[in-house]
Amino acid sequence: MGLLLGCIADDFTGATDLANNLVRAGMRVVQTIGLPDAPLPDDCNAVVIALKSRTIAPEQAVKQSLAALQWLKEQHVHQVYFKYCSTFDSWYTGEVRGNIGPVTEALMQAMGCDFTIATPAFPDNQRTVFKGHLFVGDQLLSDSGMKNHPLTPMTDANLVHVLQAQCQRQVGLIDYRCVAKGVHAIADRITELKSQGISIAVVDALSNDDLLRLGPALADMPLVTAGSGVAIGLPSNWGIQPAADSAKLPAAQGQQAIISGSCSQATQGQVAHFVAQGGAAYQLDPLAWPSDTPPADIAAQVVNWATAHMASSPVLVYSTADAEQVKSVQSQRGTQHAGEHTEQVLAQVAQGLVQHGVSQLVVAGGETSGACVQALGISQLTIGAQIDPGVPWCYAPSRFALSGGLHITLKSGNFGSADFFTKAFQSLHQSTHP
């Protein structure tokens, strides 16, 4: 069958989220960290290239995305999927802008593509789009915790506005009434939008049924841009159906740890839950060290603590903090410095823990995951069973792991139930020791 779908994801947790939906829909998927540097397994029919481009300026995000596109073109993929966050956030510097629009337009131009869609809808994770407005659970995006995100706050829920502000091309809407009517109505609406000079359409989706109705309408669209949700409706365009063994990983072994740099509300709850259950936890306060302390020095102290606690149960190392604490750190250290320094400390901790025998690792936070995966020298991940919507276990070779590889899960900040940090290890054991 060969490589059918080529995906470009703007961060690492987002990439696994997308890969997870494709695996659940029956595709054999490999996720690569950056451009693939080794041949892909012969039997994979989708590849997700994970970039770390969500929070970089548009010019660089475009450059990286076009390089990924070039590689995908050389593989002759049938369709390209640009994946962004289900909260539609990206680069932000104080003015409302972002890089989703520029990347979309650059990909369209490079592919000679005159129309595409944009929808972050992911109903399994309570992200729905109604009349172009994004809801997180029962709240508009702009009323949700995303208004306080440390790097990419979102203060407007109207995606047509948000995207139009980032694009030269005209942005329109395919609304829920049209989606409900199915493939022909969607195709007619696309023709209508094109005739009005509109070349990107935000698409409403309130349920998985909407996404499954949308899928067939995208069969001939060379470029799709979306969160991970749209992926559930694409594999059947190639006659692919869900298969039990598409999520198989090696048996889990070794010690267990959790690294959390996400400050999102769901992660705050997961950290509080783990601590309340009496789990061994180390809180990293970015203000506890001078700002120029080398990350490796701080990490060495944390790893020392962790190795004394990790023999019998998972250890948690977290910098997770509430919005007020984050603001205080950012005002004293600068937003970018605080973010990058904390990411580097956590990444060094991840590396140290893996060198000391951890081979089941949960990482919380998109940027944090990017830093950890890079520090672990991981370049390819095989996708396994889902723990919670959007979050699968993966297996990855790493030269730092004592057995040559580790199980790792990259949890996007806002995903997962309150007991995620304990549930994850139980789920790994069950899925790899059937």
Q: Which of 16, 99, 342, 360 binds ligand ADP (CB under 6 A)?
A: 342
Nearest distance, CB of residue 433 and ligand ADP, angstroms: 30
Residue 321 in contact with ligand ADP, rule: CB under 6 A: yes
Q: 406 forms bridges with which residues in the sheet?
A: 396
Interactions with ligand ADP, residue window 402-421 (CB under 6 A)? 412-413
- Which residues lie below 8 Å from residue 433, measured CB to CB, with a gap of 6+? 251, 252
Residue 339 in contact with ligand ADP, rule: CB under 6 A: yes
- Closest to ligand ADP by CB, 6 vs 261, is 261
Q: 392 forms bridges with which residues in the sheet?
A: 386
Residue 311 CB coordination number (10 Å): 9
User: How far from chain centre, in Å, is Cα 280?
Assistant: 27
Count of residues near ligand ADP by CB under 6 A? 24
Interactions with ligand ADP, residue window 76-115 (CB under 6 A)? none
Residue 326 in contact with ligand ADP, rule: CB under 6 A: yes
CB-based contact 13:86 (threshold 8 Å): no
Calpha distance 160→200 (Å, rounded): 9
Residue 145 in contact with ligand ADP, rule: CB under 6 A: no
- Closest to ligand ADP by CB, 11 vs 210, is 11
Calpha distance 352→338 (Å, rounded): 21
Residue nearest to ligand ADP (CB): 413
Residue 151 in contact with ligand ADP, rule: CB under 6 A: yes
Spell out where 179-302 has E strands.
198-203, 223-226, 255-260, 280-283
Q: Which of 366, 384, 389, 405 binds ligand ADP (CB under 6 A)?
A: 366
The values of phi and psi at residue 363, to 5°, are -120, 130
Q: Which of 286, 352, 389, 405 binds ligand ADP (CB under 6 A)?
A: 286
Residue 329 in contact with ligand ADP, rule: CB under 6 A: yes
For residue 25, the one-letter residue type is A
- 194 half-sphere exposure, CB direction, 13 A CA radius: 11
Interactions with ligand ADP, residue window 264-283 (CB under 6 A)? 264, 267
Calpha distance 325→344 (Å, rounded): 19
Q: Which of 50, 68, 263, 347 binds ligand ADP (CB under 6 A)?
A: 263
Please name which of 33, 123, 116, 115 lies closest in space to residue 81, comparing C-alpha atoms. Answer: 116
Interactions with ligand ADP, residue window 232-261 (CB under 6 A)? 261
Residue 228 in contact with ligand ADP, rule: CB under 6 A: no
By CB neighbour count within 10 A (0-12 exposed, 13-18 middle, 19+ buried), where does 190 fall?
Answer: buried
For CA atoms 98, 162, 47, 342, the dihedral sign is positive
Residue 389 in contact with ligand ADP, rule: CB under 6 A: no
How is residue 414 written in tokens?
């806002």
- Closest to ligand ADP by CB, 27 vs 100, is 100
Residue 204 in contact with ligand ADP, rule: CB under 6 A: no
User: How far from chain centre, in Å, is Cα 210?
Assistant: 22
Q: Which of 338, 350, 353, 358 binds ligand ADP (CB under 6 A)?
A: 338
Nearest distance, CB of residue 326 and ligand ADP, angstroms: 4
Interface residues toward ligand ADP, by CB under 6 A: 150-151, 261-264, 267, 286, 319, 321, 325-326, 329-330, 338-339, 342-343, 365-368, 412-413
